[in-house]
């Protein structure tokens, strides 16, 4: 069983202006696929706090780290930049596939800047902030992630 952590990036959810619904929806999907939820946190759209949350999950030996929010064009959307600061290797096929599949639903998916990458033994994936966008995108890649994590951990073929 792999461990997963969820980082919701949202000023409004962090300040309790509204309830985070994406994080719990992601947790439900991951649980249903056999992942143990190690941690679920909400941070504001502040690059240093996002970096700290990502690094904390990596240090906790979380194999799959999912972020939700902060992947758009707003000046406050800095999740992608924070992720780039943390990862050692890019995994562009994951984000490309999510965008491709999303564009079959809405052409606006091309505006997502989310990325995926590896830090130590952790795979980090950025998802959109909306419940619909987050769950659709995770649903596209979730069936294939355990194989990638097996390879990352040296348990599968490369």
Q: What are 17-52's pLDDT values in tens digits?
A: 999 999 999 999 999 999 999 999 999 999 999 999
Identify which has the larger pLDDT, 1 or 141.
141
For residue 152, the tally of other CB atoms under 10 A from its CB is 21
Task: Give how far Cα 116 sits from Cα of 3, 18, 40, 88, 95, Å.
Answer: 17, 27, 18, 11, 6
Superfamily of domain 3-57+71-152: MoaB/Mog-like domain (3.40.980.10)
Interval 108-145: pLDDT, tens:
999 999 999 999 999 999 999 999 999 999 999 999 99
* Ranges of each domain in the chain: 3-57+71-152
Interval 58-97: pLDDT, tens:
999 999 999 999 999 999 999 999 999 999 999 999 999 9
Q: How far is it, in rounded angstroms, from Cα 55 to Cα 12?
A: 23
**From the centroid of its chain, how far is CA 91?**
12
């Amino acid at each position: 069983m792999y461990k997963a952590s969820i980082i919701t990036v949202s000023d409004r959810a962090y300040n309790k202006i509204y309830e985070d619904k994406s994080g719990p929806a992601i947790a439900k999907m991951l649980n249903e696929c056999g992942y143990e939820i190690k941690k679920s946190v909400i941070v504001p759209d502040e690059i240093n706090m996002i970096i700290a949350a990502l690094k904390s999950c990596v240090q906790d030996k979380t194999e799959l780290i999912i972020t939700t929010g902060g992947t758009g064009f707003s000046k406050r959307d800095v999740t992608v930049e924070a992720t780039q600061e943390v990862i050692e290797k890019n995994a562009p096929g994951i984000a490309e596939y999510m965008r491709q599949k999303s564009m079959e639903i809405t052409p606006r998916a091309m505006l997502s800047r989310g990325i995926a990458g590896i830090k130590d033994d952790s795979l980090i994936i950025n998802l959109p902030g909306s419940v619909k966008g987050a769950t659709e995108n995770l649903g596209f890649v979730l069936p294939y992630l355990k194989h990638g994590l097996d390879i990352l951990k040296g348990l599968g073929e490369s």
